Amino acid sequence: MGLNIGISVSSSYQVSDPRQGARFMVERARQARQAGLDSLFVGDHHVTPAPYFQNSPILGRMLAEWGDRPVGALYLLPLWNPVLLAEQVSTLASIAQGRFILQCGLGGDTRQSGGMGVDISRRVGMFETALETLRALWRGEEVNLDRYWHLTRSRISPLPPEPVEVWIGSLAPAAINRTARMAEGWLGSPGLTFQQAADSLNLYRQACAEHNRKPTAVALRRDVFVGASSEEAQRVVRPYIEGGYRGFSEEAMLFGSVEEVAETLSSYAGLGYTDIIIRNISADQGESLATIERLAEVKALLR
C-alpha cells in the first residue's frame, strides 16, 4: 500500500534545561530514521511562554541524523520576511540530502502575531504575496516589492538545489481552494475526525479539478500513540483525553496497538491520502521513542 508515514517532531518541551529539549528532538529524528519513516518535519511557533525550539536551526541539526528522504518545516508565512525565509529554506535544502518540502499556513494566533509585530488581519494577502515572492527568489529572480514588505532588488544565493515542494495546511473551504490554486500538496488539520477528513479531501479534490491541478501529495496530520498492546495505549492516552488534549475530538486521535493503528491508517489510505504526518501524543520521551520505533512495524503491516 502506497501510504507514506512521516513525522512532525514536537518542538515544545516543558524542561528546565533547554539543552534537554533540543536533545529530545535530535533523538526523535534519529529514531525516525531508524524506523524507516518517510519524511521529517518541524513546526513553527513564536513568542512562547515555554521552550519552543525554532524550526530552521533545529532542523539543520536534525538533518545530521536523517538521510536522503524528504524533509521540511512548517512556516507561518505572514510572520516571516520572505527574503530571510527564502535564504533559510535554500540553505536547509542545500544541507538536506533529499527533497525539501515547505509546509506553510496563515497563522491566526493574535498573541503570537502581536508579539512579532505583524497585523494578522492582513494575513491572507501577506500569505499569498509571501509565497509568490519565495518562488520568484528560488527561481533566481530579482524581486522588487512595495506591498506588506518593501523589497528593493532582492535576490538570494544559494538557490535550492531542486525545486522546493509546497504543501499548504488549510481547513476552511476558501483556504482549501487557495491550496489547490497555489500549492503542490495539501496538509489536512490534525483535529479532523475521520468523516471530516473524508469531506475535506473531497473539497480539495473538487478545488484541484477546478484549477486543473494534480497534487503531488495529499497529507493528513495525526496525533499518535502506538502501544505494545491496545491496553497500554488506552492507559497512556486516557489522561490526555480527559485533560482535553488540544481541544481535539477523541476520534481525531490515533492510538492503539500496532495492528489497530495500521488498520486505521489503511482506512485513510482508502480515502485517498498519500501521506500521514504523525505527531507524538505522549510528552514522555521514552513513550514517544517507543511509538516511533513501533511505526516501523505499522509500516510493515501496511506493505
Domain definitions of the chain by residue range: 4-220
C-alpha distances in Å from residue 126, one per residue of 76, 86, 187, 298: 10, 15, 20, 40
* Tens of pLDDT, residues 244-280: 999 999 999 999 999 999 999 999 999 999 999 999 9
51-72: average pLDDT: 98
Q: How far apart are CA 280 and CA 87, in angstroms?
A: 30
- Specify which residues 100 forms β-bridges with: 71
Element counts in the chain: helices (H) and strands (E)? 10, 11
**pLDDT band at 2; cut points 50, 70, 90:** confident
Decide which of 3.40.50.1970, 3.40.50.720, 3.20.20.30, 1.10.10.10 is the CATH code for 4-220: 3.20.20.30
Cell numbers linked to 202: 473531497
Work out the angle at residue 125's Cα, subtended by the Cα atoms of residues 123 and 130, and round it to the nearest 5 degrees. 90
In this structure, are strands 149-154 and 143-147 parallel, antiparallel, or unpaired?
antiparallel
* Tens of pLDDT, residues 178-199: 999 999 999 999 999 999 999 9
pLDDT(1) > 70: no
pLDDT for residue 108 = 85
Q: What is the mean pLDDT of the chain?
A: 97
Asked if 216 contacts 245 with a C-beta cutoff of 8 angstroms, the reply is no
pLDDT for residue 117 = 94
